[in-house]
């Protein structure tokens, strides 16, 4: 559990893959098994995994990652418009452009650390957002968002003689339409690959170096090591993850809006990561899932639905239960989310992964006692997972 | 020239509100080392103190409008007016300034409760965790306000005496288009008074001296047998009062809604960082400076050369300052530079 | 970590045995989806066809968080009322006044109307996510809502992609039924062009033809289209446009944009702002004494081309005497408006807003079109709506123009009431501008509706 071995990693990888690919099945009972939400789970999973490579390993808290998400989306939509409806160039260009943006912003921002770094990234992201919303409208289509149109050139497509028969052609991966479940599996497979790469980074000497930066950057610099290249690499990698997520948003839904770059969107990925468990492999994915679940499912529970749920109660009790609960669901879903953040940070600083770990070790302790074993393996010190 | 004078006034006025919010924020950071994302929410709660008082003062006798049968339309006369006639009207008219009296104890209590109930458990935690928990708190606070007051802004007119504008142009010998609303001038004056009060409190009282000492070196002050924790708690309360009052007085300028705090959150952090984390003088200077810069960046002459500059000027300044002078305008060397 | 995976394992084992596994598994390999329909397989086979069930589901996608939450809440009330009336409950509201009407008060085509709700957060992404949930998970046959043009345009194009009809709520940009119009999107609300055309004669009457106007415009698409429309109108009257200044959305304090107006020589300020921006800019402009000013020997005037009651509430006293337009007002005296205000007022205790009105009417119009078409099959319903002429829904005789899916009806020019008798009496109607005056050639905005079959 606590020490990572190649065998355990392989096991983790296998379980993760299986769990992700079977999401449509085991998420069905909680009403989350429909293509759009599944796609979002995978896409924001990627976003959070990438963010965690920077924040979890180096401790650098970026408040501007949404900018890369936005850049990825815009690039992908432009690729659909100008080149081809195939998702391959869209994703590749999305990742490259956001990577380039990350090099520039990272190079400047990483000259500072701590909260100053956060403010720098925030400043860059807000500038991108403000400009994309207004002055850059010829490129971004401002508030309305960049959309496809029937008259787009699609140079590569028309080169090979593909012309739309009716309406705007769908995005596709070698002929497979990227909407619905096929879109989800496309995103899910990329997430699994992203997860694998993230795991390799965590286990590599490079990852070790990043963690050293986090634990004591002063000592690192005293040893005469220049940390900047390492942190910049981490920053760019996580920027590219964000770009990938952004281009996938455009792949599953070919539209790119400026609000994707707003600071609240950057804040969201921070929340996902901390909620799930910073610096753990699986935590960010869980955090992303929980927040998207809240946003999409909790917000849709209205009083009508609540009355349906409490139908079995006598009328007075029913009205009371509905009145209380409707503060927390439907239009009150922000309240629930805010309280969840507070509870998690107060009681489970390691995020939900720490919660699972605690429960796990408690169960194991009990089993150990029942078996009369004297040993207390892993019970004394529970480290946050990973 | 007229335009120039007006933009300076606009800048000072904006700067006043920025400085007041940033002052509390940097005070909390300087003493407690906490990054408080709920600080904007305190500003918003202050504004809603004013709304609440106004609601209480205008509790009305409702006379049903009989011409409308299918819903209850009322002609409303506040009881205060019924009971006290013109005096009552005058009291209602001064609802906003009167709210200061309500906001001071309420905000102090909220501040103390926040610090004792939540913030103090986070002194030793990372900034990221502080941000998350205070952000969560900010969301909870604003959603509660929304549940009570709705999402729509609430109009809060200034007292009759201070509506309308002062003809500054005539006073200082400029054109007649240099006019400025009395209430905004009042706000500026008010901001100046509060800032002066906070500074003299910290400068000239024993309490202030201890707090300043604690900001310099918490450990030594503790070793001297001074309960610095308790004093810091009070500092948090004071910071809450300062931003709460800023919120109260701001209501006639921007009708408050539950989201007011979030609108100011990012901006106040930028001000604090530009001024230097933990530097009170820096926060005030940066507040006014950014206010003025923002005003000038919005002038048509400037926008023609640099389109969109008014949208990003604040962030641009932050980036430049952080790169050229990372400790901010007046920050102490070594603060947050590790 | 092991624990999380344990949980995954358990759920997987438990569920793999289920029948769900088989179908989802099949979906994996075929790459298709159990929910979406297979294109071109059968003409009347369409997404979320309700014919095999006893009810029809509608989706109401409104802002529940963010600046327009109150407006969203009012829209939702109107939708719930519409559902009630369609199902034959309550007093029937506009069902009794609508002409011609095929509605029977027994649901739509005999199927009981049910609904689901969602939160757009006034963000395109969130609105599309919410709409997709309604379509993919809840199986809605039509969805409606919105309080901003960006959101309306984004969801409308989703409607086209998914083949589910979208009835726009409050959206005022010319683009919604102009360059971004869609076959599957319909707008009952008026637009910026109509605001301009309706204001024109009133402005001429009240302020003359020799005026100098200064625009403050929210810096995004809706603001621009409104600025353009109003500018065209006023310049047509002979007014001079002194300056048009873009302001950032959510600026809060507009003082730095208002002070230049003071010595610009302008005698009219036009605020192309909506919601919170409008409340703030108007409040501050009045504070700066603009209304008390005399310029060029005339009283300085402020115009807010798009009004709503919620904005009037937020701006308080400052709204008094300010001219603007609105789609509908509860004080209208026609039978349709009265019937609607009556049932809304009895249900909720206060009168409906214009947003509520347009949402209510849209729901009824969709239901009526289904009845007329005799089917839920979207292309047929669309054809029934296109060119549909009706009356008795407020605003007089109305037509859903086939060329761009824009409704044409009378537009109200209103003024902030100087002396409101009750707390709801904030706007007084200055003029009901007849439909003929606000009509225009659909070609001026371009755009393409797209195909019926998707």
Residue A304, chain C, CB below 8 Å: the answer is yes
CA distance A65 to chain B (A): 15
What is the DSSP-derived secondary structure letter of residue C61? E
Q: Which residue of C has its CA nearest to A354?
A: C1
Return all residues near A309 (Cβ < 8 A) that are at least 6 apart: none
Instruction: Please identify among residues 64-83 of chain A the ones whose CB lies closer than 8 Å to any CB of chain C.
Output: none
- Reported ipTM: the value is 0.90
C10 touches chain A (CB under 8 A): no
Closest chain A residue to C221, measured at CA: A143
Of the partner residues C31, C73, C246, the one whose CB lies closest to the CB of residue A176 = C31
- Find which of A258-272, B123-137, C224-238 is predicted with most confidence, using mean pLDDT: C224-238
Domain C50-190+330-409 coded CATH 3.40.50.2300? yes
Query: Of the spans A42-51, A224-233, C16-25, C443-452, which averages the highest pLDDT?
Result: A42-51
Q: What confidence category does residue A170 fall into, taking pLDDT thresholds of 50, 70 and 90? A: confident
pLDDT at position A79, please? 95
For A337-363, the pLDDT digits (tens) are 889 888 888 888 888 898 898 998 898
Mean pLDDT of B271-287: 90
d(CA A263, CA B37): 13
A25 in contact with C, Cβ within 8 Å: yes
The number of beta carbons lying within 10 Å of the beta carbon of residue B326 is 20
| Alpha-carbon span B34 to B232, nearest angstrom | 11
CB contact under 8 A, B6 and C262: yes
The predicted-structure confidence for A119-146, as pLDDT tens digits, reads as follows 899 999 999 998 998 888 888 888 778 8
Chains contacting B with at least 3 CB pairs below 8 Å?
A, C
Mapping DSSP onto H, E and C, the string for chain B reads: CHHHHHHHHHHHHHHHHHHHHHHHHHHHHHHHCCCCCCHHHHHHHHHHHHHHHHHHHCCEEEEECCCCCCCCCEEEEEHHHHHHCHHHHHHHHCHHHHHHHHHHHHHHHHHHHHHHHCHHHHCCCCHHHHHHHHHHHHHHHHHHHHHHHCCCCCCCCCCHHHCCEEEHHHHHCCCCCCEEEHHHHHHHHHHHHHHHHHHHHHHHCHHHHHHHHHHHCHHHHHHCCCCHHHHHHHHHHHHHHHHHHHHHHHCCCCCCCCCHHHHHHHHHHHHHHHHCCCCHHHHHHHHHHHHHHHHHHCCHHHHHHCCCHHHHHHHHHHHHHHHHCCCCCCCCCCCCCC
Mark which residues 407-446 of C lie under 8 Å from B by CB. 421-425
Question: In chain B, what percentage of residues exceed pLDDT 90?
Answer: 46
Does residue A149 come out as left (phi exceeding 0), alpha (psi in the -120 to 50 range) or beta? beta
Domain with CATH 3.40.50.2300 in chain C: 50-190+330-409, 193-326
The terminus-to-terminus CA distance of chain C in angstroms comes to 45
Give the CA radius of gyration of chain A. 23
Cα separation, A248 vs A72, in Å, equals: 8
Task: Answer left, alpha or beta for residue B120, where phi above 0 means left and psi between -120 and 50 means alpha.
Answer: alpha
Cβ within 8 Å of residue B324, ≥6 positions away:
none
Distance from CA of A96 to the nearest CA of C (A): 23
Which chain C residues in 143-162 lie under 8 Å from chain A, judged by CB atoms?
149-150, 153-154, 157-158, 160-161
Size of interface B-C (CB pairs under 8 A): 137
Least Cα distance to B60 among B85, B84, B82, B86 occurs for: B82
Give percent of chain A with pLDDT exceeding 90.
44
Is pLDDT at A322 greater than 90 in this prediction? no
| Cβ contact C10:A19 at 8 Å | no
C126 chain-A contacts, CB cut-off 8 A: 295
Q: Are A134 and C220 an interchain contact pair (Cβ–Cβ within 8 Å)? A: yes
Q: How distant is the alpha carbon of residue C168 from its chain centre?
A: 5
- Poorest-pLDDT segment among B23-27, B28-32, B138-142, C182-186: B28-32
Mean per-residue pLDDT, B160-180: 79
The reply to whether residue B136 touches residue A122, judged by beta carbons under 8 angstroms, is: no
Interface residue B169 vs chain C (CB under 8 A): no
Question: Which candidate from A108, A127, A327 shows the least CB-CB separation from B147?
Answer: A327
Flag if C124 and A300 touch (Cβ within 8 Å).
Answer: no
Q: How many CB pairs under 8 A join A and C?
A: 194
Residues from chain A that touch C9, judged by Cβ atoms under 8 A, are 15
Asked whether the predicted pLDDT for residue C244 surpasses 80, the reply is: yes
* B295 has a chain C CB within 8 A of its CB: yes
Under 8 Å between Cβ of B76 and B209 = no
The pLDDT, as a whole number, for residue C29 is 39
Which residues of chain A neighbour C219 with C-beta distances below 8 Å?
133-134
**B2: chain C residues, CB-CB within 8 Å:** 262-263
In angstroms, the CA B156 to CA B173 distance is 33
* Residues β-bridged to residue B180: B166
Q: What is the pLDDT, as a whole number, of residue A36? A: 92
Reply yes or no on whether the pLDDT at A376 is more than 90.
no
CB distance B255–C252 less than 8 Å?
Answer: no
**If you average pLDDT over each of A231-245, A294-308, C34-48, which comes out highest?**
A231-245
Contacts of B151 in chain C (CB under 8 A): 66-70
Rounded Cα distance, C199 and C202, in Å: 5
Which residue ranges make up each domain of chain A?
Answer: 6-296
- CA torsion sign for A362, A368, A370, A372 is negative
Cα–Cα distance, A66 to A50 (Å, whole number): 12
Per-residue pLDDT at C303 exceeds 80: yes
Per mean pLDDT, which range of A158-172, C11-25, C250-264 is the poorest?
C11-25
**Structurally, what CATH architecture does the domain formed by C193-326 represent?**
3-Layer(aba) Sandwich (3.40)
Which residue reads 């993760």 in tokens? A16
Report yes or no: B332 at the C interface, CB cutoff 8 Å: no
Could you tell me the two tokens for B177?
Answer: 């288009």
Provide φ and ψ at C305, rounded to 5°. Answer: -60, -35
> pLDDT at residue A116 above 80?
yes
Query: Which residue in C has a C-alpha nearest to residue B302's C-alpha?
Result: C245
Distance CA(A379)–CA(A366), nearest Å, equals 10
- Interface check for B117 against chain C (CB to CB < 8 A): the answer is no
The CATH architecture that domain A6-296 belongs to is Orthogonal Bundle (1.10)
Q: Which chain B residues have any C-beta within 8 angstroms of a chain A C-beta? A: 35, 118, 121, 125-129, 131-133, 135-140, 143-144, 147, 266, 269-270, 273, 277, 307-308, 311-312, 315-316, 318-319, 322-323, 326, 336-338
The tens digit of pLDDT for each residue in C249-291 reads: 888 899 999 999 988 889 999 999 998 899 999 999 999 888 8
Partners for A (CB, 8 Å, 3+ pairs)?
B, C
Residues C438, C198: Cα–Cα separation, whole Å: 6
Under an 8 A CB cutoff, do A131 and B132 touch? no
- State the best of A62, A114, A215, A345 to mutate against chain B, taking most chain B CBs within 10 Å: A345
What does C275-306 look like in DSSP terms, one character per residue?
A: THHHHHHHHHHHHTTGGG-EETTEE-EEEEEE
Predicted TM-score (pTM) of the model is: 0.88
């Amino acid at each position: 559990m606590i020490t990572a071995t190649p065998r355990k990693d392989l096991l983790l990888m296998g379980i993760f893959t299986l769990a992700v690919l079977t999401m449509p099945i085991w998420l069905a009972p909680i009403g989350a098994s429909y293509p759009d939400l599944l796609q979002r789970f995978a896409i924001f999973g990627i976003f959070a995994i990438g963010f965690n490579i920077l924040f979890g390993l180096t401790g650098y808290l970026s408040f501007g990652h949404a900018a890369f998400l936005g850049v990825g989306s815009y690039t992908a939509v432009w690729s659909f418009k100008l080149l081809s409806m195939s998702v391959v160039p869209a994703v590749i260009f999305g990742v490259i452009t956001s990577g380039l943006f990350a090099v520039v912003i990272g190079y400047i921002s990483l000259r500072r650390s701590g909260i100053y770094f956060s403010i720098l990234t925030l400043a860059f992201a807000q500038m991108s957002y403000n400009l994309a919303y207004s002055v850059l409208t010829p490129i971004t289509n401002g508030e309305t968002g960049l959309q496809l149109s029937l008259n787009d050139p699609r140079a590569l497509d028309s080169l090979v003689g593909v012309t739309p028969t009716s309406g705007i052609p769908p995005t596709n991966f070698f002929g497979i339409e990227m909407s619905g479940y096929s879109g989800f599996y496309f995103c899910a497979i990329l997430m699994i690959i992203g997860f694998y790469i993230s795991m390799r980074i965590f286990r590599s000497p490079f990852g070790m170096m990043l963690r050293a930066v986090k634990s004591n950057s002063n000592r690192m610099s005293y040893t005469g090591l220049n940390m900047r290249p390492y942190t910049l690499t981490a920053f760019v990698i996580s920027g590219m993850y964000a770009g990938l997520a952004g281009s996938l948003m455009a792949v599953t839904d070919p539209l790119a809006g400026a609000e994707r770059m707003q600071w609240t969107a950057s804040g969201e990925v921070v929340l996902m990561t901390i909620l799930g468990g910073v610096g753990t492999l699986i935590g960010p994915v869980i955090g992303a899932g929980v927040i998207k679940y809240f946003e999409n499912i909790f917000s849709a529970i209205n009083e009508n639905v609540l009355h349906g749920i409490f139908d079995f109660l006598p009328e007075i009790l029913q009205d009371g239960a509905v009145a209380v609960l409707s503060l927390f669901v439907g239009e009150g879903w922000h309240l629930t989310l805010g309280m969840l953040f507070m509870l998690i940070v107060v009681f489970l600083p390691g995020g939900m992964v720490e919660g699972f770990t605690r429960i796990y070790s408690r169960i194991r302790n009990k089993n150990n006692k029942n078996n009369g074993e004297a040993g207390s393996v892993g019970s004394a010190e529970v480290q946050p997972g990973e | 020239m007229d335009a120039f004078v007006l933009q300076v006034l606009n800048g000072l006025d904006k700067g006043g509100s920025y400085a007041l919010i940033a002052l509390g924020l940097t005070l909390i950071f300087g003493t407690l080392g906490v990054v408080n994302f709920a600080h904007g929410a305190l500003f918003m709660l202050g504004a809603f103190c004013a709304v609440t008082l106004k609601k209480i003062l205008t509790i009305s006798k409702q006379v049903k409008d009989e011409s409308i049968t299918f819903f209850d339309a009322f002609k409303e006369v506040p009881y205060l007016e019924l009971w006290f006639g013109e005096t009552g009207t005058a009291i209602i008219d001064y609802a906003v300034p009167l709210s200061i009296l309500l906001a001071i104890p309420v905000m102090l209590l909220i501040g103390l409760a926040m610090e004792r109930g939540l913030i103090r458990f986070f002194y030793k935690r990372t900034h990221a965790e502080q941000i998350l928990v205070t952000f969560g708190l900010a969301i909870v606070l604003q959603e509660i306000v929304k549940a009570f007051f709705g999402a729509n802004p609430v109009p809060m007119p200034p007292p009759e005496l201070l509506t309308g504008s002062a003809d500054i142009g005539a006073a200082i010998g400029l054109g007649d288009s240099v006019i400025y609303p009395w209430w905004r001038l009042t706000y500026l004056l008010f901001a100046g008074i509060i800032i002066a009060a906070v500074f003299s409190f910290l400068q000239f009282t024993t309490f202030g001296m201890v707090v300043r000492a604690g900001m310099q070196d918490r450990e030594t002050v503790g070793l001297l047998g001074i309960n610095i924790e308790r004093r810091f708690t009070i500092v948090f309360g004071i910071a809450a009062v300062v931003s709460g009052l800023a919120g109260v007085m701001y209501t006639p300028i921007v009708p408050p809604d539950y989201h007011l705090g979030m609108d100011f959150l990012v901006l106040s952090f930028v001000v604090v960082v530009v001024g230097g984390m933990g530097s009170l003088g820096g926060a005030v200077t940066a507040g006014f400076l950014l206010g003025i810069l923002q005003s000038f960046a919005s002038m048509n002459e400037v926008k023609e050369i640099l389109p969109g500059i008014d949208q990003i000027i604040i962030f641009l300044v932050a980036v430049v300052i952080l790169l050229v002078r990372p400790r901010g305008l007046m920050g102490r060397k070594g603060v947050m530079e590790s | 970590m092991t624990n999380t995976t344990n949980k995954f394992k358990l759920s997987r084992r438990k569920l793999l045995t289920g029948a769900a596994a088989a179908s989802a598994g099949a979906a994996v390999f075929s790459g298709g989806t159990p929910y979406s329909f297979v294109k071109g397989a059968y003409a009347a086979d369409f997404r979320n066809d309700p014919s095999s069930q006893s009810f029809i589901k509608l989706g109401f996608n409104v802002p529940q968080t963010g600046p327009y939450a109150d407006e969203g809440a009012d829209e939702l009330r109107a939708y719930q009322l519409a559902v009630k009336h369609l199902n034959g409950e309550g007093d029937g509201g506009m069902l009794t006044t609508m002409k011609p009407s095929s509605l029977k008060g027994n649901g739509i085509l005999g199927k009981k109307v049910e609904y689901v709700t969602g939160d757009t957060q006034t963000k395109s992404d969130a609105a599309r996510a919410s709409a997709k949930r309604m379509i993919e998970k809840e199986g809605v046959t039509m969805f409606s809502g919105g309080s901003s043009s960006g959101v309306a345009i984004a969801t409308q194009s989703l409607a086209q992609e998914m083949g589910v009809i979208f009835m726009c709520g409050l959206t005022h940009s010319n683009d919604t039924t102009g360059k971004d119009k869609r076959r599957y999107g319909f707008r009952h609300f008026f637009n910026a062009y109509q605001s301009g055309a309706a204001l024109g004669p009133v402005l001429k009457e009240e302020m003359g033809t020799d005026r100098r106007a200064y625009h403050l415009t929210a810096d995004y698409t809706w603001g621009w289209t409104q600025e353009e429309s109003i500018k065209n109108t006023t310049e047509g009257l002979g007014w001079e446009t002194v300056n048009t200044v873009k302001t950032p959305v959510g600026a809060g304090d507009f003082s730095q944009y208002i002070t230049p107006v003071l010595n610009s020589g302008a005698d009219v300020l036009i605020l192309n702002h909506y919601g919170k921006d409008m409340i703030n800019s108007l409040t501050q402009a009045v504070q700066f004494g603009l209304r008390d000013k005399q310029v060029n020997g005339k009283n300085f005037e402020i115009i807010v081309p798009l009004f709503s009651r919620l904005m009037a509430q937020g701006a308080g006293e400052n709204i008094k005497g300010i001219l603007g337009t609105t789609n509908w007002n509860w004080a209208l005296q026609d039978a349709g408006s009265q019937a609607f205000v009556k049932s809304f007022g009895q249900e909720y205790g206060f009168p409906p807003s214009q947003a509520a009105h347009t949402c209510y009417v849209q729901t009824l119009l969709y239901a009526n079109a289904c009845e007329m078409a005799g089917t839920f099959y979207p292309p047929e319903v669309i054809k029934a709506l296109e060119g549909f002429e009706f009356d008795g829904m407020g605003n007089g005789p109305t037509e859903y123009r086939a060329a761009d899916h824009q409704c044409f009806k009378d537009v109200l020019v209103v003024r902030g009431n100087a002396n409101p008798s009750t707390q709801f009496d904030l706007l007084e109607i200055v003029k009901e501008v007849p439909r003929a005056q606000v009509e225009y050639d659909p070609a001026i905005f371009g755009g393409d509706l797209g195909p019926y079959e998707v």
